[in-house]
Amino acid sequence: MTPPASAPVHAPSSPVAVVTGASSGIGAATARRLATEGFHVVAAARRIDRLEKLAAEIGATAFQLDVTDEASVAALAEAVPECAVLVNNAGGAFGLDPVAEADLEQWQRMFDVNVLGSVRMTKALLPAMVRYGRGHVVNITSIAGHLVYEGGGGYTAAKHAQHAMSETLRLELNGQPVRITEIAPGMVKTEEFSLVRFGGDAERAEATYRGVDAPLVAEDIADCVAFAVTRPAHVDIDLMVIKPIAQAAPHKVHRSGS
């Protein structure tokens, strides 16, 4: 169940890690992995039914969260008085329109979830990290935050902005006990990312990975998160870029038969 704002998350023997977008894909894999690393995970997302199953499986706290809603974010922050790790994973890509034909509602949604969602969560939980005595913000971005490709204008713009936010935050928090890590995956095959991007068109979603020998999976990214947050307190992993060996760039992917 979602704890009310007046009921703080109690994990006296374990550091608390908040993972957004934890109902599926990279978020769910990260929640599972951090639980094995000794964190008490607050698994946060909109779909509470999925979160409750995950929480029961790994001994986590499920919290219904919409990162685009200020009141929802504030309720989570009030329930987490001390926080060791925040994984800003909630995000998504919507559509593949060229810039000249941009669907501005989709662009706005991508900015609100990917960029402003990360800002809202970071702003809300930074005090809890400082109270804990050390903290770690992990932003899950994308290679689209460092490179561009045709048809990806809205998503690449949002992820570039999220990258810039991560870099700026590291400068502004210099001297504070908070680390900032950006993890930028390439092609990761999950059950929902491409399906959402193509508006539920399963055939187009599956074509994204067709002929690709071993795209990344969610657990590969969860491994990277776990590595970064378990380094000694003086070590900050600024940026990790992870791609499958078949992918040289967003627009250059080796496919069997090609």
Model confidence pLDDT, tens digit, residues 139-157: 999 999 999 999 999 999 9
Q: What is the pLDDT of residue 190?
A: 82
Q: What residue type is assigned to position 31 of the chain?
A: A
Say yes or no to pLDDT of 7 above 90. no
User: Which is higher by pLDDT, 3 or 257?
Assistant: 257
Say yes or no to pLDDT of 113 above 60. yes
* Choice among 11-15, 48-52, 82-86, 118-122 with the minimum mean pLDDT: 11-15
Describe the strand order of the beta sheet including 135-140 as a list of residue ranges: 61-64, 40-45, 16-20, 85-88, 135-140, 178-185, 239-242
Give Cα 190 distance to the centre of its chain: 13
Per-residue pLDDT tens digits for 51-78 = 999 999 999 999 999 999 999 999 999 9
Average pLDDT rounded to a whole number, residues 10-19: 85
Q: What is the pLDDT of residue 3?
A: 43
Say yes or no to pLDDT of 5 above 50. no
Nearest 5°: the CA angle 123, 125, 126 is 70
- Mean of all residue pLDDT scores within the chain: 92
Q: What is the pLDDT of residue 13?
A: 81
Q: What is the pLDDT of residue 8?
A: 74
C-alpha separations of 80 from 2, 27, 43, 174 in Å? 12, 18, 12, 24
Task: Report the candidate in 116, 134, 140 with the shortest Cα–Cα distance to residue 19.
Answer: 140
Average pLDDT rounded to a whole number, residues 169-177: 97
User: Which is higher by pLDDT, 213 or 235?
Assistant: 235
For the chain, which residues make up each domain, given as ranges? 16-253
- Domain 16-253: CATH superfamily, name plus number: NAD(P)-binding Rossmann-like Domain (3.40.50.720)
Residues belonging to the active site: 155
Whole-angstrom Cα Rg for the chain? 18
Which regions of 28-101 does DSSP assign to beta strands (E)? 40-45, 61-64, 85-88
Statement: the pTM of the whole predicted model exceeds 0.85: yes
Q: What is the pLDDT of residue 2?
A: 43
Cα gap 221→208, rounded to integer Å: 19
Cα gap 130→123, rounded to integer Å: 12
Say yes or no to pLDDT of 233 above 90. yes
Q: What is the pLDDT of residue 1?
A: 39
Q: Do residues 40 and 14 touch, judged by C-beta distance below 8 A?
A: yes
Cα gap 159→34, rounded to integer Å: 24
Cα gap 4→24, rounded to integer Å: 23
Task: With residue 221 as reference, give the H or E element that holds it.
Answer: helix 218-229
User: Which is higher by pLDDT, 191 or 127?
Assistant: 127
Average pLDDT rounded to a whole number, residues 18-46: 97
Q: What percent of the chain has pLDDT over 70?
A: 91
